[in-house]
Amino acid sequence: MTTPISRRMFLTLGATVVVAACSSSEEGQSSVATEVASTAPATSLAPPSDLPSNPFTLGVASGDPDTESVVLWTRLAIDALNGGAMPDEDIDVLWEMSTTESFDEITIAGIATASPQYGHSIHVIAAPANVTGPLHYRFRLGDYTSPIGTTRLSPSSDSLEPLKIASASCQNWTAGFYTAYQDMTELAPDLVLFLGDYIYEGGVGSLDSGDVRLHNSEEIKDLVAYRNRYGLYKSDPLLQTAHQMCPWVVTWDDHEVENNYASLTPQDIVDSEEFASRRAHAYQAWWEHMPVRLDPPIEENITIYRQISWGGLINMLVLDGRQYRNDQACGDAVLQLTPACEEALLPDRTMLGTMQETWVAENLTSESTWTILANQTVMTDIRLGAAILNYDQWDGYAPSRDRLLDVVDSAQAKNLIVLTGDIHLAGVGQLTTTSDPETPRGIEFVTTSISSSGNVDASTESLFVALTNIIDAEASHRGYILHTITPETWTAQYRIVDDAKVENSSVSNWKTFSVTKGSTTVAEI
Ligand code: FE
Ligand code: CA
């Protein structure tokens, strides 16, 4: 394959060279290409470097594991807040994996090339053969060595070993500290699922108005500014440690580009001409900074919806609810109690786009115990009669939701769990269709934000909980959810930070909910 990434996917494995090209089919399914035998020698010599200081300032990450390989990520940046300050040339970096943290024995290693075109980011598809346990990895360049990350492959499809997934979203730098990640690292999930709003695009902020730390620039609109913003967020040691802990599966929401954008429609129509270019820059910077098994964007688009499996336990479809959606209906109003305008109910209205809807339908059926939709915005129907409280969520795309939930039924997808972020509050909901509101099709677990401020006052909790489909809600804390998944039970433990505006604040349980296999009801335990 001659994609731009393929040269960097050139892996050296003992006496075998593995060419692992990262390719996305038109349906969005990613795959690792074939292995090619060669006689290249094993190497553990770091390429020489005359860089003036350490380029591994942004840490390391891994992600999108399958049973044969996992993506290893880093980005070289001497000065990540100022464009990276790297030489304008390709730089070769050694990567190594080992089953021991001392790296006494190298399981697999290779050379990856970081190019200035992609901000000197590196995405390696590492395919260590016959390893089922934890794997440590690092990058080396000259005398510099990156932090060590720990990752693993997905277990084989006959494995039913329990799985712990942490779901997280919304980490506005200015609004709070990343204490939730400290707790998450201590509780050691196998996988982190990040559901969007990894960065926020806004301006500097203000300590006088309640921000606890400041952004590094005015609102970001071009590639260098987006890169510098990721550089700021990824400078946080708690976030870096959480990435080092285990593989992540990442999708995006709106703030990776701009608040409440929809496809190529920006929030403010005055910006519409420039928006395609802005979005392209934002998408590229996102790709450069995430450990994703994806080709880089082509022009203004990148297909990021994809399937992740874990043993015989889960079939997870990672959704993209931003790139293909119709514009928010009825002027994108919030908390309006008047009946929705007709546009919101047009039958061809879509959240996912036709291609992604088809892809979902084709990939829902599996042998796995649990079907997960990793999703951006709230899917539970919380319409008040004909009124829609939030047009940015699935309520504003109800025909699309009905199609999705009906196809879950027709595909006989087992035990649907929807994992959601976006709304900066913790919630548990049951998923129903417009025509059959009495029959739950599955359960939605909404994580609160890691740090972003709550959108609604805590006093609204009781109003939400009074809604038929809301089982419970908590609006006043930041945190994440730790899901423990077994062949029999799904357990969602809601972890909340006492005060995310204070460093090292304590973290505790809010509540724990569970779903039993074969049931579409959820109960607090
Ligand atoms: Fe958010
Ligand atoms: Ca959002």
Query: The domain spanning residue 242 has which CATH number?
Result: 3.60.21.70
Q: Cα–Cα distance between 436 and 201 in angstroms, integer? A: 39
- Ligand 2 midpoint to CA 448 (Å): 11
Cα of first residue to Cα of last residue in the chain, in angstroms, is: 51
- Do 122 and 224 lie in a common domain? no
- Ligand 2 midpoint to CA 17 (Å): 42
- Dihedral of CA atoms 409, 412, 415, 417 in degrees, nearest 10, equals -50
- Ligand 2 midpoint to CA 259 (Å): 7
Is 156 within a domain?
Answer: no
- Do 118 and 198 lie in a common domain? no
Is 206 within a domain?
Answer: yes
Model pTM? 0.92
Is 4 within a domain?
Answer: no
- Do 123 and 190 lie in a common domain? no
- Ligand 2 midpoint to CA 79 (Å): 28
**Domain C-terminal end among 130, 151, 172:** 151
pLDDT, position 462 = 84
- Ligand 1 midpoint to CA 310 (Å): 27
- Ligand 2 midpoint to CA 38 (Å): 47
Element (H, E) at 227: helix 223-233
Is 376 within a domain?
Answer: yes
- Do 312 and 375 lie in a common domain? yes
| Residues with a beta carbon under 5 angstroms from ion ligand 2 | 197, 253-254, 422
Q: Cα–Cα distance between 136 and 149 in angstroms, integer? A: 6
Domain enclosing residue 368, as ranges: 164-524
Is 317 within a domain?
Answer: yes
**Domain C-terminal end among 123, 151, 179:** 151
Q: What is the DSSP track for 68-122? A: S-EEEEEE-BSBTTTTB---SS-EEEEEEEESSTT-SS-SEEEEEEE-GGGTTEE
AA identity, residue 263: S
pLDDT, position 300 = 86
- Which residue in the block uniquely carries the two structure tokens 């009906």? 406
Radius of gyration of the chain (CA): 22
- Ligand 2 midpoint to CA 268 (Å): 16
- Do 117 and 227 lie in a common domain? no
What is the number of the ligand closest to the CA of 449?
1
- Ligand 1 midpoint to CA 424 (Å): 6
pLDDT, position 463 = 84
Query: The domain spanning residue 91 has which CATH number?
Result: 2.60.40.380
- Do 79 and 201 lie in a common domain? no
Closest alpha carbon to 421 in 384, 386, 452, 378: 378
Is 36 within a domain?
Answer: yes
Residues contacting residue 504 through CB under 8 Å, at least 6 positions apart: 179, 182
Residues of the chain where predicted confidence (pLDDT) is lower than 70:
1-43
pLDDT tens, residue by residue, 458-510: 788 888 888 999 999 999 999 999 999 999 999 999 999 999 999 999 999 99
- Do 382 and 453 lie in a common domain? yes
Read off the DSSP letter of residue 56: B
Reduced to 3 states, what is the DSSP secondary structure of residue 387?
A: strand
User: How many CB atoms within 10 Å of residue 113?
Assistant: 16
pLDDT, position 507 = 98
- Do 367 and 469 lie in a common domain? yes
pLDDT, position 458 = 78
> Count of domains in the chain?
2
Dihedral over Cα of 295, 296, 298, 304: its sign: positive
- Do 180 and 142 lie in a common domain? no
Q: And the tokens for 251?
A: 């999708």
- Do 188 and 90 lie in a common domain? no
**Domain C-terminal end among 104, 126, 151:** 151
Is 490 within a domain?
Answer: yes
- Ligand 1 midpoint to CA 434 (Å): 27
- Ligand 2 midpoint to CA 260 (Å): 7
Is 6 within a domain?
Answer: no
- Do 136 and 180 lie in a common domain? no
- Do 252 and 384 lie in a common domain? yes
- Ligand 2 midpoint to CA 157 (Å): 34
